Amino acid sequence: MACCFPSAIMPPKNAKPNLSHSQVSEIVKRLYRLTASVIQSLPSYDDQNFYVAPSEGGEYILKIMNSEDSKNTLLIEVQTYTMSFLQQNGIPAQTALPNTSGERMSLEEIDCGFGSQKYLVRLLTYLPGTTISKVPLTPQLLYEMGKTAAKMDTVIKKMKHPHLHVLEREGFKWSLSNVALLEDYLYVLDGEPLLEVVKSVIQGYKSSVDPKRSSFRKCVNHGDFNDLNVLVQPNDKEGYRITGILDFGDMNSGYYIHELAITVMYMMIEHPKPIEVGGPVLAGWESVLPLNEVEKDCLYLLVLSRFCQSLVLGRYSLTLQPENEEYLMISSRKGVNILQQLWELGKEQVEKLWFETAAQLSDKSERQEQTRS
């Protein structure tokens, strides 16, 4: 069971729901006609999640959105539809159960101790497994991460929905199309040596990535394909297979190369030798969707840009919620050293390692396929 990753700027105070177990039991009974025999609170950044095991059988996650995000009903509707679409197309995503009215989400007025507010409620399928953050990141598992991320985006690309326009999310701070917005928050790094690196990355993005965006291939990004949002289980070969993808709250219209950069960045955070991550993830990605030359040229700066987003926006959230320092700084604390290392090694050296390793792994994978056939 994964906790939500802090990848959106915090909602206003008191927006986060705070339901009691008795309120959860009542909602599950009224909306889904299920009797909750087991209710367990799960960690969450700005929503409220519960593991629910009804006496009728089955396992579920009850998700209560914060009151601020609950206003974006069309966005949540598209996210919920996407999860079902992925599941129907062989990608292991959670799906929302229909309630007694046949709807997959419900806007409920609930008093959590600071007056009645409206919260979007969904009952999601429970996916077994452990987060990928808790298992060894072998080259094979990193390859599978890249392959799964690419498959996921190519499936979503085929999806039709009347409200896909809500995924444009102009001004969304976590989109890799909006790296320049970080300049408004750089004061949180005042006096720190890393500030100059972050400024240089943003400048590099503006001069060397932004002008080339017209050559990127468009898609819809999951946007937060991180080590806490991917579940794995042991396979037959002493390794692991991906069994679940969680948290579609950061979905946005973007580009395939953005998803790859995000995946590489978050896998680097969990790896003992971060620099070695890019090759296997890239090889897995290109087994589904080979990059074009412009996308290849921009990958290094996009990975660094995601590190900068995590660092700067994580620090900013900390100024708003200092009591949650440990939780808010999960990635940015580890990311500081990796960002510094990537910057010092430079684009040419990092790309050489990533692309050469990816080519070797691709050749090996092709030989294995030929042997099987």
Q: In what order do the strands lie in the sheet with 48-54?
A: 36-42, 48-54, 60-64, 116-125, 106-111
Q: What letter does residue 117 receive in the DSSP assignment?
A: E
Sign of CA dihedral 289, 292, 294, 299: positive
Closest C-alpha to 108, from 158, 145, 73: 73
Let me know: does 245 contact 222? Beta carbons within 8 Å: yes
Catalytic residue among 47, 153, 224, 227: 224
Let me know: does 225 contact 250? Beta carbons within 8 Å: no
Let me know: does 143 contact 136? Beta carbons within 8 Å: no
Let me know: does 2 contact 229? Beta carbons within 8 Å: yes
Inter-CA distances, 112 with 8, 117, 244, 303, Å: 23, 8, 31, 40
Residue 224 among the catalytic residues? yes
Catalytic annotation, residues: 224
